[in-house]
Amino acid sequence: MLRNNRGWFVKGHKSYNYWLGKKRSSETKKKISLVLKGRSLSEETKNKMRGRIPWNKNKKGTFKHSLKWHLEASKRTRGKNHWNWQGGISLINDRHDSQKYKEWRIAVYKKDNFTCQICGRRKVRGVEITLNADHIQPWSIYPELRFKVSNGRTLCVECHKQTPTYGNKPKVVQEVMSYDQAA
Ligand SMILES: [Zn+2]
């Protein structure tokens, strides 16, 4: 379909694909030819079409930016100015590496005597189980409870995977959020 300069479809126009492999009557061809002959292009337009003038000439700064501009743009959009800024949360999102997290995890294991709080298996010599410290109130929703030992429970990795908040799946977080909003 042909669109006019307002982007509207022009009534009565067949799409270009429609004409593929079809023959037009000689009368139609004549009409088209006459219309095209009547077109007059300015020298500048012709030169642009031939690629002699860059299409973005005289539009400085609109399409092409210098390296300096990009560096400054990157500075401008960092941190608080970035659309995805989450209040500095990313700094502590590497929680599995932080010393504070390690201490919290060990404290939770000790509280639960290294025993999975769901299946009751315990990490002892000769028993291969991997323990995880799970946040009872989700990490992402309750930042203030992140390092509260009372908000942690010891789970073996198999039981941990069954919990809805395992790995902080964004989908689950959304469900919890909408449940809270509905309540
Ligand atoms: Zn378990």
Q: What is the C-alpha separation between 174 and 180, in angstroms, rounded? A: 10
Both tokens assigned to 122: 């315990």
Mean pLDDT of the chain: 72
Residue 64 alpha carbon to ligand 1 centre in Å: 58
* Spatial contact of 116 and 122, defined as CB atoms under 8 Å apart: yes
pLDDT digits (tens, 9 = 90+) for 74-110: 666 665 556 555 554 444 455 556 888 999 999 999 9
Residue 70 alpha carbon to ligand 1 centre in Å: 51
Q: What is the C-alpha separation between 118 and 162, in angstroms, rounded? A: 10
Higher model confidence: residue 155 or residue 126? 155
Residue 64 has pLDDT above 70, yes or no: no
Write the CA distances from 17 to 25, 91, 139, 153, 161, integer angstroms: 17, 54, 55, 65, 53
Residue 93 alpha carbon to ligand 1 centre in Å: 25
Instruction: Kindly state the average pLDDT of the residues 169-176.
Output: 45
pLDDT digits (tens, 9 = 90+) for 34-62: 666 666 667 767 776 776 666 656 655 44
Instruction: Kindly state the average pLDDT of the residues 126-155.
Output: 90
Q: Alpha helices of the chain — where are they, by DSSP H?
A: 16-19, 26-37, 43-49, 67-76, 89-92, 99-111, 157-162, 170-182
CB under 5 Å of ion ligand 1: residues:
116, 118-119, 156, 159
Residue 127 alpha carbon to ligand 1 centre in Å: 13
